[in-house]
Amino acid sequence: MKFSFRWYGPSDPIPLGYIRQIPNMTGIVSAIYSVPVGELWPEKDIQSLKSDVEAHGMHFEVVESVPVHEDIKLGKATRSKYIENYKENIRRLAQVGVKTICYNFMPVFDWTRTDLNFINEDSSSSLALDLKEITSLDPLTEDFSLPGWDESYSKHELKALFEAYQSVTEDDLWENLGYFLNEIIPVAEEVGINMAIHPDDPPYPIFGLPRIITDNAAFQRLFELNPSSANGVTFCTGSLGARNDNDIYAMLEDYLKKGKVHFMHTRNILLHADNSFEETAHMSKYGSVDMVKVFSLLKQYHYNGYVRPDHGRMIWGENGRPGYGLYDRALGASYLNGIWEALHY
């Protein structure tokens, strides 16, 4: 198992040299963030990212994410250009030694929370999602504001996207995902890259937009769409754990058996009865995810892929990118390494 850490490139306030000092941290997970969704990633930018990471004694083998253009999710005629660009990005990344690409197929919004600064008992802060609050929000109203997303779209863009999705059903989204996979998976296979879809976060439809990568039935359908082992998953314990009816251990075991897990996001959440949640420290006792159980399964099935601590709380006065500070993620990494070491004793 290869431990890795997400880094947002040169604009990330956390220096690579600090990440290297986390015990057993061998890899960086990153992306080219300066290129608009759907465009080609310049080879020189990819190369310089790799060189930066390697100059700090770590490897660059996982990209999170190569985002999927909305026209592909919408199944528009214009998707062909974006699919061709996607294929070329896969080839370019393979050329510098990338082995796994994480992506998602969520319409309009990626992960969503209602609070980026939920104050915990110990005065640390976390990301949180309150189901009542999210269901009361209407993205098309003037005063709509969604933490983390306020600068991503203009009102006009948001309105146009919502209109475009109005006629897109869950089945349409599946069809568009199938089309995309059947185009890109052969390229990924050819160049030795594993594609790892990230579950929807939260794992149910929001704002009337369809969301499909949500539960076990969805993953089985995904595997049927394209049986290649390159068509795999990022198993995110926090995202999949945000539904009381998801048995994440049974799901993980099945996908490990099938050789479909290429990347693990291991974070914890405290899940409430209505599927609202707060993100917690990684340790099992603080949340609803049993990390020892998760890592025992990884050991049992000889998981040899990538893992990363996921969102951390803000602690020790750190002021960072929500969910992606240094301190609590480093604590998470050490804790997970401790479990892994103990399991091999």
The yes-or-no answer on residue 102 being catalytic is no
Query: Applying CB under 6 A, does 71 fall inside the site for ligand DNO?
Result: no
Choosing from 30, 85, 104, 214, the residue that interacts with ligand DNO (CB under 6 A) is 104
Choose one: 98-106, 149-157, 225-233, 277-285; the region binding ligand DNO (CB under 6 A).
Answer: 98-106
Choosing from 3, 111, 180, 223, the residue that interacts with ligand DNO (CB under 6 A) is 111
Choosing from 73, 198, 211, 313, the residue that interacts with ligand DNO (CB under 6 A) is 198
Choosing from 14, 25, 61, 64, the residue that interacts with ligand DNO (CB under 6 A) is 64
Query: Applying CB under 6 A, does 102 fall inside the site for ligand DNO?
Result: yes
Choosing from 41, 60, 103, 255, the residue that interacts with ligand DNO (CB under 6 A) is 103
Instruction: Give the CB-nearest residue to ligand DNO.
Output: 65
Choose one: 15-23, 99-107, 154-162, 275-283; the region binding ligand DNO (CB under 6 A).
Answer: 99-107
Query: Applying CB under 6 A, does 303 fall inside the site for ligand DNO?
Result: no
Helix (H, G, I), strand (E, B) or coil at 80: helix
**Alpha helices, DSSP H, located in the chain:** 16-20, 43-55, 70-74, 79-95, 131-136, 155-165, 170-191, 216-225, 237-240, 248-257, 291-300, 327-343
Residues 275-294 interacting with ligand DNO (rule: CB under 6 A): none
Choose one: 73-81, 104-112, 141-149, 336-344; the region binding ligand DNO (CB under 6 A).
Answer: 104-112
Task: Please check whether residue 255 is in contact with residue 219, taking contact to mean a CB–CB distance below 8 angstroms.
Answer: yes
Helix (H, G, I), strand (E, B) or coil at 265: strand
Contacts of residue 151, Cβ cutoff 8 Å, sequence gap at least 6: none
How near is the Cβ of 19 to ligand DNO at its closest, in Å? Answer: 17
Query: Applying CB under 6 A, does 12 fall inside the site for ligand DNO?
Result: no
**Nearest to ligand DNO of 38, 121 (CB atom):** 38
Contacts of residue 314, Cβ cutoff 8 Å, sequence gap at least 6: 117, 124, 125, 126, 320, 322, 325, 328
φ, ψ dihedrals at 3, nearest 5°: -80, 135
What is the rounded CA–CA span in Å between residue 207 and residue 141? 12
Task: Please check whether residue 278 is in contact with residue 269, taking contact to mean a CB–CB distance below 8 angstroms.
Answer: yes
Determine which one of 165, 236, 262, 335 is catalytic: 236
Kindly determine how many residues on this chain lie close enough to bind ligand DNO according to the rule CB under 6 A: 11
**Nearest to ligand DNO of 102, 264 (CB atom):** 102
What is the rounded CA–CA span in Å between residue 188 and residue 77? 23
**Nearest to ligand DNO of 105, 174 (CB atom):** 105
How near is the Cβ of 330 to ligand DNO at its closest, in Å? Answer: 16
Listing DSSP states for 267-288 in one string gives --EEE-TTS-EEE--SSGGGSS
Determine which one of 82, 311, 328, 335 is catalytic: 311
The yes-or-no answer on residue 311 being catalytic is yes
For residue 304, give Cα distances in angstroms to 146, 261, 263, 297, 301: 37, 10, 9, 12, 9
What is the rounded CA–CA span in Å between residue 79 and residue 54? 35
Query: Applying CB under 6 A, does 323 fall inside the site for ligand DNO?
Result: yes
Tokens of 81: 């250009």
Tokens of 236: 């995110």
Determine which one of 198, 215, 303, 328 is catalytic: 198
> What residues make contact with ligand DNO under the rule CB under 6 A?
64-65, 102-104, 110-111, 198, 265, 311, 323
Q: Provide the annotated active-site residues.
A: 198, 236, 265, 310-311, 324
